[in-house]
Structure 1
Amino acid sequence: MTATRFRSARRIPAALVALAVLGVAGLFLYDLAAVRADRPAMAWRRELARRLEVHTPADLAVQLAGGALAVAGAVLLLLAVTPGIRRILPMLSPERDGEAGAGPPLRAGIGRRDAAQVLRDRAMEVPGVRSARVRMGRSRVRVRARSHFRELEEVRADLDAVLAVGIEELGLVHPPRRRVRVRR
């Protein structure tokens, strides 16, 4: 069983807002077409049509407003279709097939900052490491360490081994690649 990325709760509200904006824009377009076709219109529609006759689509203000609305709509649609909470890394879940009443599968995740802190603590346990900075991405871990009394290659090898075990113990679905730099 593969664990999927955690989804944000904003997907459904963002989709509803995008659909509502699309519906309102469609109604305005219909009203504008009705006024242009000389159908009876309400007073506010006649005033809107009068203003739109004065300000044509060639006007800079109309183009800027249209561009801003198009960008806002694109952002809302992007928020509606993009998955989730990228700062949480999905973890492997234990198999619960043998349990009575197992229920839905367990989902676990760890924040990227928390995972980086765990790996930093592991890196600080390596002899010769004075300080360490860990940056955790979704697919890569960047570690910068300062050494003060051992050979850099020895520290790098020990640090690489400790980090490999630390990443394995985190139990991530997609273990990240390591990039280790050691300096004096």
Structure 2
Amino acid sequence: MSEPVKESAPGGEPAGPPGAEPDGSASDAADRPPPGTAEEEGAAGRFWSRRRVPAGLLALVVAAGAGLLLFDIASVRAGRPAMRWRRSLADELASRPLDDVWVSAGAAAAVLVGAWLVVLAVTPGLRNLLPMRRRADATGVRAGLDRDAAELVLRDRAVAVSGVQSVRVRVRRSRVAVRAESHFRELEEVRSDLHTALGDGIRELGLARRPALSVRVRRPARKG
């Protein structure tokens, strides 16, 4: 797995240490730098998924249903009786009341399928692909960073901090959540070092939208 190309970034921002909680864990801290200019941030939209599988399945179902219905209508126009399934369906729709269980279940299923298709149509998808900054001299090129790769890079930075025994990193579009355990050193010192190291790491990822940083450090749970 290739790591993202590192770009020059300003030095780490100082972070004031928050107060410790009663259970001995350091409280959450958020690093939300002020937005820069359009050239600095390199505004870039999210990648849109092609969604070939849902589109293909929907097209196949619609084509099969339309073809079967047109064949039956053509048969009726030619003087042959309608298919049994269409006569049965027409009789059921004419005789069943609207508050029937099967009618309500069919309507609910149709609403759910329609809502699912609308959501697929208006949302980008590809949540695991984070858009990166766009350079002014590369207008025709778009770059993205896999979310798992970003988590691996930041985790490597976190475990390199002195005092960190284990760490868990979760990267989202708007927030990077870090949960670490420290077996020695003061929790506030470890949290401050993690905040600085991961803040630099997030900047060097080159993401179009820099996520906020949340760091929480605690002691390992005692066994026995």
**TM-score, structure 2 length as denominator?**
0.64
RCO higher in structure (CA 8 A, sep ≥6): 2
1:43 aligns with 2:82: yes
Amino acid at match of 1:106: V
- Residue aligned with 2:199, SS: helix
Q: Contact 2:43/2:134 (CA < 8 Å) preserved in 1?
A: no
Q: 1:171 aligns with which of 202, 206, 221?
A: 206
TM-superposed CA distance for 1:2, in Å, is: 1.9
Could you report, residue by residue, the CA deviation over 1:7-45 in whole angstroms, capped at 9, with x for unpaired residues? Answer: 101189649938x85xx79xx8xxxxxxxxxxx996245
Could you report, residue by residue, the CA deviation over 1:109-155 in whole angstroms, capped at 9, with x for unpaired residues? Answer: 11112111110100111111111111111111111111122111111
Match of 1:37 in 2: none
Match of 2:113 in 1: 72
Q: Separation in 1 of the partners of 2:176 and 2:167? A: 13
1:151 aligns with 2:217: no
Amino acid at match of 1:51: E
Q: Contact 2:49/2:124 (CA < 8 Å) preserved in 1?
A: yes
Q: Separation in 1 of the partners of 2:202 and 2:151? A: 10
- Residue aligned with 1:56, SS: coil
1:88 aligns with 2:129: yes
Q: Which runs of 5+ in 2 are unaligned?
A: 1-41, 70-78, 220-224
Q: Contact 2:129/2:146 (CA < 8 Å) preserved in 1?
A: yes
Higher helix share: 1
Q: Contact 1:57/1:63 (CA < 8 Å) preserved in 2?
A: yes
TM-superposed CA distance for 1:158, in Å, is: 0.8
Q: Separation in 2 of the partners of 1:60 and 1:78? A: 27
Match of 1:36 in 2: none
- Residue aligned with 2:168, SS: strand
Q: 1:129 aligns with which of 151, 158, 164?
A: 164
Q: Separation in 2 of the partners of 1:14 and 1:131? A: 43
Could you tell me the percent identity over the aligned residues?
52
Distance 1:153 1:183, change over 3 A: same
Amino acid at match of 1:153: E
- Residue aligned with 2:45, SS: coil
Match of 1:61 in 2: 102
**TM-score, structure 1 length as denominator?**
0.76
TM-superposed CA distance for 1:51, in Å, is: 2.5
Q: Separation in 2 of the partners of 1:153 and 1:52? A: 69
Q: Which runs of 5+ in 1 are unaligned?
A: 29-39, 98-103
Q: Contact 2:169/2:178 (CA < 8 Å) preserved in 1?
A: yes
Q: Separation in 2 of the partners of 1:74 and 1:92? A: 33
Once the two structures are overlaid, the 10-residue window that deviates more, 170-179 or 40-49, is 40-49
Q: 2:215 aligns with which of 166, 180, 183?
A: 180
